[in-house]
Structure 1
Amino acid sequence: MSFQDILLGTPTWVWVLLAILVSRGMKAMKAGTAPLSKLGIVPAVFAGWGLLHLLSDPETGWATASMWMAGGALGVGIGAAVAKKSGMTVDRIRRTVTLPGSAVPLVLILLTFAMKFWIGFELATSVHMGVDSTFVVLNGVVTGLVAGIFAGRFLIYWLALRPEQTPVLERL
């Protein structure tokens, strides 16, 4: 199978999704302020993409779902750690987050796309792979990990925007 056959055999929606995600990743390279709702787009896309795969692929079993959850849990920790060190500032009144420019989202998007594309290609072209395939489970780990990283970053933004609590002693 030639490279051209691979590209032409890829559904159009995959290229549209890549264009949208790369656009978001490129925007993240520039410092900027965004409402929390806008910062939730990429985490929602990656979580939805992973869950859609888990629910719609007949080859997905408990092993893949378990690895997706484990990857997601690890990813949340990684994403939270990255977000805490990002140098973000928040405006609780406007409910916005100001982030310095970072290549991290774009790198994650491109690595995830490349991994999912490769795994999808292997699963689509290999006749000997079944439910217990390492590729099926690896797909679960990768999508869970990346969804978790984006979710962990979003979690820190959301937590930072919570109203400040008045210390108990000052309320008395």
Structure 2
Amino acid sequence: MYNNIIEIFLRTPLWVWILLFILIKRGIAISQERPIHLSKMFLVPFIFMIWGFEKMITQFSYLELCLTSYFLSILPGTLIGYLLYKKYQIFYKQELVIMRKKCYLPLIIILINFMVKYVLNVTLGISPSFYNDISFNIIYSGISGLSIGLFFGGILYTYYAQKKINFASA
């Protein structure tokens, strides 16, 4: 088992490790107390969207079901993300800027997303027959959609918190 784990890590392409480094760096940065910029919040979900879509579109056998599963899973993911951010993320206004207090929820969501996506892709590397397995195609797509929804929920909550703070101070 130990040898299998080492082999998996050694066979992982370099770009995956570089991506992990970038995501950790970005996750730590966005977890610190700082001004919010809604447009920058779309960067990490965009990376995960490309990672998920690339597999579904180019290699999975059941594209229509994958896309359906993906887009339907975004909704509960968005709700979960919204509720998590509502519970753990605090915003305030400093002079004319909306600030977010230090919170490691974004980093945690990024790392969980990476690990789940990594495990799913390792599974495909070990068992390429899953590219043609309808259940795996739907599960992979659903998990990918759910993870993107977590990010969208955070963005949505941030947007509403920003509007609420701006309205209260107007």
Give the structure 1 partner of residue 41 of structure 2: 39
Deviations 1:58-90 (A, max 9, x none): 435222222211221111111222233322235
Give the direction of change, closer, same or farther, for the CA distance of 1:148–1:108 in structure 2 (3 Å limit).
same
Alignment partner, residue 91 of structure 2: 88
Change (3 A) 1:127 1:17: closer
For 1:60 and 1:49, how far apart are their aligned partners in 2? 17
Structure 2 equivalent of residue 56 of structure 1: 58
Q: Which has the higher helix share?
A: 2
Structure 1 window deviating more from structure 2 (69-78 vs 36-45): it is 36-45
Count of residues in correspondence between the two structures: 163
Matched with 2:114 is 113
Q: Where do residues 8-157 of structure 1 align in structure 2 (5 Å cutoff)? A: 8-85=10-87, 86-89=89-92, 97-157=98-158
AA in 1 matched with 2:35: T
Q: What is the CA distance between 1:2 and its match in structure 2? A: 2.7
Task: Give the residue type in structure 1 aligned to 2:159.
Answer: W
Which structure is larger by alpha-carbon Rg, 1 or 2?
A: 1
State how far apart, in whole Å, the 1-side matches of 2:28 and 2:136 are.
29
| Structure 1 unaligned residues grouped into runs of 5+ | 165-172
Please, what is the CA RMSD of the aligned residues? 2.7
TM superposition shift of 1:154: 0.9
Report how far residue 114 of structure 1 moved: 1.6
Residue 28 of structure 1 and its aligned partner are, at CA, apart by: 3.3
Q: Call closer, same or farther: CA 1:55–1:89 in 2, change over 3 Å.
A: farther
Q: Unaligned stretches of 5+ in structure 2?
A: none
Aligned equivalents of 2:80, 2:58: Cα separation in 1: 28
The TM-score normalised by the length of structure 2 is 0.79
Moved more, 138-147 or 48-57: 48-57
Aligned-residue offset at 1:130: 4.2
Q: Quick one: which of 1, 4, 24 aligns to 1:2?
A: 4
Q: TM-score, normalised by structure 1?
A: 0.78
In 1, distance between residues paired with 2:153 and 2:128?
A: 37
Percentage of matched positions with identical amino acids: 27
Q: Which contiguous aligned blocks of 4+ residues in structure 1 show a shift greater than 6 angstroms?
A: none
Contact 2:76 2:146 survives alignment (8 Å): yes
CA shift at 1:159, angstroms? 3.8
Shift of 1:155: 2.0
> C-alpha displacement at 1:147, in angstroms?
0.6
